Structure 1
Amino acid sequence: MSPLRLGFGLPVSGSWARPANLVRIATRAEELGYESLWTFQRLLHPAEGDWGPMYHAVQDPIVTLAHVAAVTERARLGIAVVNAPFYSPIVLAKQLSTLDELSGGRLDAGLGLGWAEEEFAAVGVDSARRGARTEEFIACLKAIWTEDVVSFDGQFYRMPSARVDPKPVQRPHPPLLLGGTAERALRRVGRLADGWISSSRHDLRTVGDDLELMRAAARDAGRDPDRLRFIIRGVPRLTDEPAGADRRPLQGDAGQLRGDFEQLAAVGVTELFLDLNFDPEIGSPDADPAESMRRAEHLLETFAFAPGS
């Protein structure tokens, strides 16, 4: 069993998402040995209805990581995720190539399909066939990144014969990670991607079955399943006292959470990042930012180096 790599979600949602806090969390996490720093995307929140407090006010993930790239040196910078249908491949390819260069080749690029009809309406894209659209998007993105002269003519996207430089620092391209929970989405990971990123709501008690599905899809596609990365966005609830027997994974005292880390590694999870943005007491615009930072730094210090110990 390989040690679980541990990362941390940057403050990008709610009242604690401020420049000084962003720099503090990024630099402190790197000092303490965390291997990765993560953002996520939400373009808007509907005027009617409620998607949850963590989605009310969210910073742009790519701009945020460009800022963090300038104040860190070692930690990988992860996007979990941006929704491919909201972009054209050439625009996102240029942004991510630039971010990869600015960070010295530390980018992990996570892509999703999108789920909110309001966001599809806002960007002027039809949500129908978004799975097929995203698969073609990936093919076009890889062509832009790997071909000296790229020409692409698909059903959804077209690239006239052109040179697109500079290329990313990482070759052949930054790792492409996909989100998704449906069986079709998980099989897509095995066929096309370098790895998978879970949602904040994924049931970690059955994640081993999901990983095996992706590994099987990779084998069916003639790919090496051992090269896939399996990344969990975990929403921890650290308590002073042990939680009861009916607790959910990543809820309880430090000993219980470390046990959860070990169980995730045992079923094949390669990486876990702790994301407090999805704690409603932190990721809300109404949360106390000072208390959010106190809890975040306590969490960082509690689990520093825990996966490799």
Structure 2
Amino acid sequence: MDIGLAVPQFGRFAALSSVSRVARESDSMGFAGLWAGDRLMTPLRPKDRYPEGDMPEAHRVFLDPFAVLSVAASATSSVRLGTSALNACWYPPVVLARSLTTIDHLSGGRLVAGLGLGWSSDEYAAAGVPWQGRAARYDATLDALEVIWGTDPVSFEHELWTIAPSHIEPKPARRPPLYLAGFAEPALRRIGRRGDGWLTAALPIPMLTAMWRTVCRSAEEAGRDPAALRMVLRANPVITDQGAPPRSGTVAQISAYLATAAEAGVHEIILDLQHTATSDEHLLDLAGDFQARLSSGARGLLERGLL
């Protein structure tokens, strides 16, 4: 199981010093990936409920994902750079492709493109994108990205966008792995049909495995090998002695849940420690503690033939 970190991006960690330090030190510590999210605003009276309850107050300050990953690219040499997840419909495909390809180009081919639909109709309205029809727009965006990342000259015709026959360069070092987010059955089936992996959250294990079976069945029905897909779980724990894992609890309790998730098939963990850490140093200390516990747990699973 690979272990990644959410790159500093919001609240007290929305600073160049935090992005640079955590990126540099996580790279030297051997973390597998650094991942950035995508938020535009915190509505005072949101039309839609935040998936985990109340939107965190720290999300009032949220840095651009492309910018923080560009900084991370300049501070690192080996860690993968991923998005978990970009709200793909907010961006015209040529703009999205350019931003992602720039990060891939500047990092020497370390990009992992993670895309989702988002959940906030308020943010869609602010971005000037219709909330209705977003699933069809999402599929068209995926189609356009595949074309843009293909061989030049490229062209694309759709009712939403027209790309005249053009050279669009640079190209990514290789077609970036495309991880898709979502929990509803249509989203899970889309992942199986056309994704390279599933971006999920810290769900109860039976729910997680049931959804993963849907992804794998969809892959098989599309003539794809489900064993080639990756399940990537993002955990946003609050570290406390009086918690309820997986959302809160001690490092040991959260690590136990994550080890169980690995046993159930999760290939990579993304730890977002910005909700609980009080400083860059605290975040890195917590990351090191999780890394030690989860690496030890992974060795145990290997010895038991489960990884």
User: 2:86 is paired with a residue of what secondary structure?
Assistant: strand
Write out per-residue CA displacement over residues 48-69 of structure 1, whole angstroms, 9 at most, x where no aligned residue. Answer: 4563324211100011100110
CA distance in 2, matches of 1:166, 1:36: 23
Indicate conservation of the 8 Å contact 1:32/1:304, yes or no. no
1:159 and 2:163 matched: yes
Quote the residue 1:296 is aligned against.
Answer: 283
Q: Amino acid of the residue matched to residue 12 of structure 1?
A: Q
Quote the residue 2:303 is aligned against.
Answer: none
Write out per-residue CA displacement over residues 54-94 of structure 1, whole angstroms, 9 at most, x where no aligned residue. Answer: 42111000111001100100100111111111111111111
CA distance in 2, matches of 1:256, 1:11: 24
Quote the residue 1:60 is aligned against.
Answer: 64
User: 2:115 is paired with a residue of what secondary structure?
Assistant: strand
Quote the residue 2:187 is aligned against.
Answer: 185
Shifted more, 292-301 versus 123-132: the winner is: 292-301
User: 2:76 is paired with a residue of what secondary structure?
Assistant: coil
Q: Percent identity?
A: 36
1:138 and 2:142 matched: yes
Aligned residues between the structures: 289
Quote the residue 2:129 is aligned against.
Answer: 125
* Higher relative contact order structure (alpha carbons within 8 Å, sequence separation ≥ 6): 1
> Normalized against structure 1, the TM-score is what?
0.87
Indicate conservation of the 8 Å contact 2:8/2:18, yes or no. yes
Shifted more, 25-34 versus 202-211: the winner is: 202-211
Query: Which of 196, 213, 224 lines up with 2:198 in the alignment?
Result: 196
Shift of 1:138: 0.4
Indicate conservation of the 8 Å contact 1:7/1:274, yes or no. yes
Indicate conservation of the 8 Å contact 1:6/1:34, yes or no. yes
Shift of 1:101: 0.8
Q: Amino acid of the residue matched to residue 40 of structure 2?
A: L
Quote the residue 1:266 is aligned against.
Answer: 263
Q: Amino acid of the residue matched to residue 184 of structure 2?
A: A
Shift of 1:252: 3.7
User: 2:12 is paired with a residue of what secondary structure?
Assistant: coil
Indicate conservation of the 8 Å contact 1:83/1:112, yes or no. yes
CA distance in 2, matches of 1:44, 1:64: 17
Quote the residue 1:287 is aligned against.
Answer: none
CA distance in 2, matches of 1:48, 1:256: 34
User: 1:146 is paired with a residue of what secondary structure?
Assistant: coil
1:209 and 2:206 matched: no
After superposition, where does 1:22-33 map in structure 2 within 5 Å? 22-33=19-30
Structure 2 unmatched runs, 5+: 47-53, 300-307
Q: Amino acid of the residue matched to residue 164 of structure 1?
A: I
Q: Amino acid of the residue matched to residue 257 of structure 2?
A: D
User: 1:70 is paired with a residue of what secondary structure?
Assistant: helix
CA distance in 1, matches of 2:205, 2:27: 26
Quote the residue 1:169 is aligned against.
Answer: 173
Q: Quick one: structure 1 residues 117 and 263, their matched pair in 2 at CA, closer, same or farther if it must change by over 3 Å?
A: same
Q: Amino acid of the residue matched to residue 272 of structure 1?
A: I
Q: Quick one: structure 1 residues 52 and 255, their matched pair in 2 at CA, closer, same or farther if it must change by over 3 Å?
A: closer
Quote the residue 1:286 is aligned against.
Answer: none
Indicate conservation of the 8 Å contact 2:12/2:58, yes or no. no
User: 1:226 is paired with a residue of what secondary structure?
Assistant: helix
Query: Which of 74, 79, 86 lines up with 1:75 in the alignment?
Result: 79
CA distance in 1, matches of 2:123, 2:249: 36
Write out per-residue CA displacement over residues 133-172 of structure 1, whole angstroms, 9 at most, x where no aligned residue. Answer: 10111011110101221111123332111111111112xx
Indicate conservation of the 8 Å contact 1:205/1:249, yes or no. no
> Normalized against structure 2, the TM-score is what?
0.87
Quote the residue 1:288 is aligned against.
Answer: none
Indicate conservation of the 8 Å contact 2:10/2:58, yes or no. yes
RMSD: 2.0
CA distance in 2, matches of 1:94, 1:253: 41
Write out per-residue CA displacement over residues 6-45 of structure 1, whole angstroms, 9 at most, x where no aligned residue. Answer: 0111110102221111111111211211110111010122
User: 2:179 is paired with a residue of what secondary structure?
Assistant: strand
1:93 and 2:85 matched: no
CA distance in 1, matches of 2:128, 2:63: 21
User: 1:268 is paired with a residue of what secondary structure?
Assistant: coil
CA distance in 2, matches of 1:220, 1:107: 28
Shift of 1:235: 1.7
CA distance in 2, matches of 1:207, 1:265: 11
